[in-house]
């Protein structure tokens, strides 16, 4: 139970801190952080949670990461669903908090509430968005499984994971807003419009595909045997 509570809290912090940099500062009028500020916010949030709750739950903060960890043989099946439920609860609570803070202030906070999406008629249509989210998640989960392997783990593992997420955000923000995390996408979408809800499926499916491939690759390569 401690691990589930930790995952709920950690995911809440990740979504709240990361998405707040979008709704309040990223594309608003008060604090124009831009893509770099948003990427750093998500990366630093992951680093903080990795050290704060990592010893308790592993700090997955992401249903796709949990799936990858399970497929790599790193956690029992009985914990998979509770972890994911806790993560979704934390993300939804964070999105609800941001919605409550920004309610009635759309001049400051975009209507999308930091939800992910793609431009079907623009430079990044659906197939491109799906491929980018899948690849981004594959890279992210592969790094996590690599730096947390028993023979590779170092005190800097959390920093490496956070910096990797920062780099992924810098690359994917223009195309999808960067998800690589179904919980991060589901929470804000619940408080956004019909367009965001209609596109939500991609930000659930693509991360799970990327994470599944990463988990299987990790289990069938020397990474898990070293």
Give the pLDDT confidence score for residue 103 in this predicted structure.
66
Give the pLDDT confidence score for residue 55 in this predicted structure.
93
Which percentage of the chain shows pLDDT scores above 70? 88
Find the mean pLDDT for residues 180-200.
92
Q: Tokens 């599944």 label which residue?
A: 212
In this structure, are residues 208 and 67 in contact, taking their beta carbons and an 8 Å threshold?
yes
What's the predicted TM-score (pTM) here? 0.90
pLDDT per position as a tens digit, 85-137? 999 999 999 999 988 877 655 554 445 678 899 987 688 899 999 999 999 99
**Res. 11: pLDDT tops 50:** yes
3-state secondary structure 114-182: CCCCCCCCCCCCHHHHHHHHHHHHHHHHHHHHHHCCCCCCCCCHHHHHHHHHHHHHHHHHHHHCCCCCH
């Amino acid at each position: 139970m401690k691990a589930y509570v930790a995952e709920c809290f950690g995911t809440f912090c990740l979504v709240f801190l990361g998405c707040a940099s979008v709704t309040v500062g990223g594309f608003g009028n008060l604090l124009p952080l831009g893509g770099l500020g948003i990427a750093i916010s998500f990366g630093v949030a992951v680093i903080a949670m990795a050290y704060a709750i990592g010893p308790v739950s592993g700090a997955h903060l992401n249903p796709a990461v949990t799936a990858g960890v399970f497929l790599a043989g790193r956690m029992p099946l009985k914990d998979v669903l509770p972890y994911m439920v806790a993560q979704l609860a934390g993300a939804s609570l964070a999105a609800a908090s941001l919605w409550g803070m920004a309610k009635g202030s759309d001049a400051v906070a975009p209507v999308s509430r930091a939800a992910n999406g793609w431009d079907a008629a623009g430079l990044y249509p659906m197939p491109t968005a799906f491929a980018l989210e899948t690849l981004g998640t594959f890279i992210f989960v592969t790094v996590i499984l690599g730096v947390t392997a028993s023979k590779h783990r170092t005190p800097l593992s959390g920093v490496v994971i956070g910096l990797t997420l920062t780099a992924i955000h810098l690359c994917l923000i223009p195309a999808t807003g960067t998800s690589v995390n179904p919980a991060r996408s589901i929470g804000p979408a619940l408080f956004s419009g019909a367009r965001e809800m209609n596109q939500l499926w991609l930000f659930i499916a693509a991360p799970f595909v990327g994470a599944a491939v990463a988990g299987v690759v990790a289990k069938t390569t020397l990474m898990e045997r070293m």
